[in-house]
A and B are shown apart, each in its own frame.
Chain A
């Protein structure tokens, strides 16, 4: 069965960096685009970033653009989120989620924008505090 397991969260000071990982299993990881979504304590979901199946295309929410980098290692079935210049408002549970379906090279930017997020990890908590 599909499993997504996030790790790497913790307490970090403002301005510092942290890298999150999402280990995938139970599906052909290299065939699917992936998202990061976050949820601040007591708040709603916020889309953070997306990456195409092969890692060639990446897009970000304005709130993290220029500070966060999404990447993937298909040989390790792992998705990453490098978070730099962290701010208090980045405090949240970070979830990785997979595309329900994908289109390979047959879509613009290799991104199945029509695809919902069908499986989610359990999340990892990032707390930015001095």
Chain B
């Protein structure tokens, strides 16, 4: 049960787009379309942003989008805003009623 692989940090300027990758295996990310993404501010609980690879729950801006290719899922944030600066985590169902999170990516808005 190794964590999914995410870049430790990404950065972008306001208005730009950034993409955060989440790499797993054919037993988790590649095997199921049950990838979700969470945003977490320091000292706060995670917030649910994307599910089923690319679906957005109500209230999440359409600047946030998700995709998947093979064993890698991605979260893209377009039109970066200062308030997007946070940590982002991917999560995938990993079979046998277990789940895996990514190691997390710190997004810095320059």
Could you mark each residue 82-96 of chain B with 1 if its beta carbon is under 8 Å from any beta carbon of chain A, else 0? 000000010101001
Q: Is the CB of B34 within 8 A of A114?
A: yes
User: Considering the chains assembled together, what is the distance between the CA atoms of A117 and B100 in angstroms?
Assistant: 12
Asked if B64 CB lies within 8 Å of chain A CBs, one says no
Given known A100-B51, A116-B91, A120-B46, contact A109–B97 (CB-CB < 8 A): yes
Given contacts A117-B91, A118-B57, contact A45 B98 (CB under 8 A): no
Indicate if the CB atoms of B98 and A61 lie closer than 8 Å: yes
Report how many residues on chain B are interfacial, defined by Cβ distance under 8 Å: 27
Say yes or no: is A122 at the interface (Cβ < 8 Å to chain B).
Answer: yes
- Contact status B104-A45, CB under 8 Å: yes
| Interface set of B (CB-CB < 8 Å, partner A) | 1, 3, 32, 34, 36, 38, 40, 44-48, 51-52, 57, 89, 91, 93, 96-104
- Residues of A bordering B, CB below 8 Å: 35, 37, 43-47, 50, 57, 59, 61-63, 95, 97, 100, 109, 111, 113-114, 116-123
